[in-house]
Structure formats: C-alpha cells, structure tokens
Amino acid sequence: MAKILLQTTIPYAEDDWHIGRFSLLCEHLAREHEVVARNRENGSDGLDPILSTIDKGDFDQLWLFAVDAGDGIGAEECRAISAFRERGGGLMVTRDHMDLGSSVCNLGGVGAAHHFHSKNVDPEIANTGRDDRDTAAIDWPNFHSGSNGDVQTIEIVEPVHPLLRGTDGEPLKYFPAHPHEGAVSAPPGDPTARVIAKGTSTVTGRKFNLSAGRIDISPLRRL
C-alpha cells in the first residue's frame, strides 16, 4: 500500500479547481492506498506546510494538480519536491490549457516538459495557433480531443510505458476527452524521458502529445 498525496496548487475556492472536484479519483485510489487529499494552504511564511517539507515526510507519491495562474508553487516548494523525487518519491503532474498551471515550469527536470502560452513556449504550437476555436477565452495550447464526458482514442508511443497498461496487462486504448488540452513534450537533453501517448484533434486533425513519462521508472513516476 502506497501513501499518496493528492494536492492542488491553489487554496480552496468554491468556483475553482479545489480538491473536492477530484473526489472520484480520490475514492478510487483509496480502495487500495492511503490517500491524503488537500488544497494548497499558505502558512505565515507563504509556504504550503506539506509541499515545502514533502522530502522529509512519509509520502510515497505526489499527484500534483496544477490549476494556478502561474504562482501556485514557489522556489522552496520546488526544492522540496525535487528532493522528494531524488529520494525515490513518485511524481505525477497534470495541468490544463493555455497558462493554467504554469507554475510547474519552476520544477527542475519536470517543468521543461510542459508548454504554455507565455512560459516555455513551443514555437510550432505558437505558429499554428488555436485548435479549440469555440472557446474564445482560451488561447493555445488548447487541443480539442472531444467533448467533456466523451473518450478519445489514443496513440501509444512504443514501447508501451507501464502507465499505459491496464490491470489485464493490455495497452490502454482510450483517455477521457477534453475540449482544450494542454501541451507536453520530452524535455530536451533528458535521455530518461519520452512522449508515451498522443492524441488527435477532432477539429483540425493535428496530432499532439498527451503524456510524457520517465523510461526507467515504476508506473507512478510520471512527469
């Protein structure tokens, strides 16, 4: 049994991506693991007391939901998360379209995998522009893989990463769909990382990266 921290990068706000919106995931993981689910909390020093000391705690995995506008995790918290990874802690980072979650760019070795509208810009995505053209408030990267509640067929990049195998050992075929996906890539100069899954836009037909992961790691050491 692993001890898993599910953590957002923003304090609680009713009309925002607070941890309660991930309750189904929490319930699913809690069937086999010890799960702590929490929002960011700012202490008197401005630091989140758990994230800033996670390298000294007893968590086995950190699932970080980056839903901030660019200020979700600071330098000291990034240092602690990096030290957590170096001691063998598993890390899964996920974020959304445009600049949502862009504070993850501050994470050494991980931030370089994430591309945003104003941080770590991918020139090719910038040149091709919007993919989802129905949501005027959301600019690139915003790949349209389908409507919320639908599924998308994924293209697995060989060899199949352990993250992309089901409980029966067979490769996954589908991910949940979303109208405006973000963008990731394998960090340049890092031979231990690679793209592991791709999607296809239902609007433009463009291929885009869905997930990047480490090569030499157990299933939950995802970028």
- Can you name the CATH fold of 1-94? Rossmann fold (3.40.50)
Tokens of 73: 């995790």
Question: What is the pTM for the complete model shown?
Answer: 0.92
Could you give the count of Cα atoms lying within 13 Å of 192 in the half-sphere of its Cβ? 9
> What would the two tokens of residue 111 be?
């931030």
- Mean pLDDT estimate for the chain: 93
In this prediction, residue 223 has a pLDDT band, given cuts at 50, 70 and 90, of: very low
pLDDT value of position 218 = 38
Residue 85 has pLDDT above 50, yes or no: yes
Report pLDDT digits (tens) over 123-158.
Answer: 999 999 999 999 999 999 999 999 999 999 999 999
Pick from 98, 99, 106: nearest CA to 76: 106
Where does the pLDDT of residue 78 fall: very low under 50, low under 70, confident under 90, or very high at 90 and above?
very high
Whole-angstrom Cα distance, residue 198 to residue 154? 6
pLDDT of residue 188: 82
* Domain range summary for the chain, segments of one domain joined by +: 1-94, 113-223
Chain centre to alpha carbon of residue 81? 14
Residue 174: count other Cβ atoms within 10 Å of its Cβ.
10
| DSSP label at residue 116 | -
Mean pLDDT of 160-176: 95
